[in-house]
Structure 1
Amino acid sequence: MTPQPADIPSAYRDAEARLLAEYALERADDRMVEMPGAGMRLHVIELAGDERVPVVLLHGMAAVTAAAVPLIPAFGGRRVIAPDWPGHGLSDATTIPRTGIRDASLPWLDAVLDDAGLERAHLVGHSMGAQFGLYYALARPERVASLTVLGAPGVALPGTSTPFGMRMLALPGFASMLTRPVSRERYERNSAMTLGPGAVGGWPRELVDVGWYASLRPEFRATAPQYYRGLGRRELQLAPEELAGVTAPVFALFGEDDVFLDPEVGDAGLATIPYVEVTVVPGGHAPWLNSPVRSARAVAGFLDAQA
């Protein structure tokens, strides 16, 4: 049964808690972080961990942190801070600029790290989260201990393509129509367009539930069309000369059948980063859901080699 708007935050948190429990994980905190001067708050959850440099987990466009929960054990017991982007999860809606979206993401991450008391963090980002992670690594190199890229990093690399249905979302009116509330079953089927066939089928029901609840919020419907219109801009791509300026170690995990980016093209696109590792596994745009063991082993190996 579709929850009423007032019931969505509770349903969201309950499903997220059950999903975390599947992996013997538990939220240490669940808070709203004020964006200075923006009149907007980001929702953040935190998982307790050891004294090593923490992980900041960044979800993708029209996704939620829950999708990456099966990968969290690969972080090796580090503290994890996971924000929801504006309009996503339980975060407030905001106005996303059609130009300047690259710079817009910087104060969001500044506020999340500052609120958590972090000078530096390992960024682990999926899709748009990885795109924003690359921007942050270039703009704030002193705050990024490493960056893990999960799937094609949004539109950051040349050669990225977008499925027809998502290109339509950039047109006025289409995004509002296609982000309208749908049934849970339809929401799960829609995941095949971006994540690839079967990506969510074998996982706990709550992995889909959390994303579905978030998609029902008016804040998502108000904000998502703005992302779709802004993310199609060519200036958001990073040229090889610019990527050569990334000083943090970078690890990229690509799925063989990522609908957005051929892994060979992604590997070539990242090649000018001074320290980069690339692993390709069977799967789509969320490869850890298709190849959980190989993905976890690869991510854990990279993070274990860091501070």
Structure 2
Amino acid sequence: MEQLTGQIRGIRVGWSEGGDPEGGPLVLLHGFTGSSDVWGSFEQVLGGCRLIMPDLTGHGRTDSPADPGRYGMEEQIADLDALFDAIGLDRFSLLGYSMGGRVAIGYAAARQERVRRLILESTSPGLLLEEERQKRRDSDKNLAAFILREGIPAFTDYWEGIPLFESQLGLPAARRREVREGRLCNRPEGLAGSLLGIGTGSQPSYWEELHGLSMPVTLITGSLDGKYAAIASRMLKALPDARHAEVEGAGHAVHVENPERFATIVKEAINEGGQP
């Protein structure tokens, strides 16, 4: 993978590129506490594609602005648009995991003409009710304050212990260390800004927009992640052209817990209609 940086709309943005430069483009968006590095192990199996892997705001080699508003959905969409224009990317398949999946939904809703197909792993279109959003904003505000006060190691200890990632306890020790080291590379101000600016309570709800997404959509969830499997089932009913792939024995991070099956599903999705 080639690691790159550039000035995009006033901030430094990092991204990685790999695979076949002449292949159909596939953009991959990581989740909260991740970076473009999480996709490195998929370069060989997805190598027939041109892989573009941005570091979202506050993560990886992308700057961590002081203003939480700079992390908001409209800003993220504009940053991605500017990056794609800068590297000559017109139409592409778009894959997003968790937080990255929420950004992918927002981007697809705003820029349908650029997205050939959408692949969403363990994600949500947001919270439908304002009461739910306010409760989540309050929770994210408290967590952001904890990160800034206690630092990344203490936050990582907490984050690894939440029920969402319980299924990762069964992974080999080396794999768990790799995931932990990636989380420890984060900056407190980046994670705090991300929670405040584009947490589930701060982003728009895209449930109503799902009906208008005309591109093929593949939803990926793990069978052990009941919450997001249920969300995917609801999304499946709202999307005009979608399928849901559930991976047995996997939790929230399917690409971590069963990378072979995850890669197979992604390859099937991008090959359904020819080039990505």
Same fold (TM > 0.5): yes
Structure 2 vs 1, CA of residues 30 and 234 (structure 1 numbering), >3 Å: closer, same or farther?
closer
Which residue of the other structure, out of 206, 212, 219, is the alignment partner of 1:245? 212
Task: Tell me the matched-pair count.
Answer: 266
Task: Tell me the equivalent position of 2:266.
Answer: 299
> How far is 1:156 from its partner?
2.4
Q: How does 1:15-164 map to 2 (within 5 A)?
A: 27=1, 29-36=2-9, 38=10, 40-49=11-20, 51-98=22-69, 101-153=72-124, 156=126, 158=128
| Aligned: 1:176 with 2:145 | no
- The answer to whether the aligner puts 1:268 opposite 2:227 as a matched pair is no
Q: Gaps spanning 5+ residues in structure 2: where?
A: none
CA displacement 1:158-197 (0-9 Å, x = unmatched) = 59x99x999744226224135x1328xx847843534333
Q: TM-score, normalised by structure 1?
A: 0.75
Confirm whether residue 279 of structure 1 aligns to residue 245 of structure 2.
yes
* Unmatched tracts of structure 1, length 5 or more: 1-26
- Which digits, 9 at most, give the CA deviation of each residue in 1:14-43, with x for residues without a partner? xxxxxxxxxxxxx2x32112112x2x1111
For 2:170 and 2:15, the matched residues in 1 are separated by 23
Assess, with a 3 A threshold, how the Cα gap between structure 1 residues 176 and 227 changes in structure 2: closer, same or farther: same
Determine if contact 1:157/1:269 at 8 Å carries over to the other structure. no
Report deviation, 1:221: 1.3
Alpha-carbon separation, structure 1, partners of 2:185 and 2:80: 21
Identity %: 24
When residues 139 and 108 of structure 1 are mapped into structure 2, their CA distance, relative to the original with a 3 A threshold, is: same
Matched, 1:191 2:163: no
Structure 2 counterparts to residues 198-217 of structure 1, below 5 A: 198=168, 201-202=171-172, 204=175, 207-208=178-179, 211-215=182-186
- Map of 2:195 onto structure 1: 228
Task: Assess, with a 3 A threshold, how the Cα gap between structure 1 residues 262 and 84 changes in structure 2: closer, same or farther.
Answer: closer
Counterpart CA distance in 1 for 2:31 and 2:201 is: 17
The structure with the largest helix share of the pair is 2
Contact 1:102 1:135 in 2 (8 A): yes
Residue 175 and residue 295 in structure 1: after superposition, are their counterparts in 2 closer, same or farther (change >3 A)?
same
Shift of 1:285: 1.3
Moved beyond 6 Å, runs of 4+: 164-167
**2:259 partner letter:** P
Task: Using structure 2 for the length normalisation, give the TM-score.
Answer: 0.82
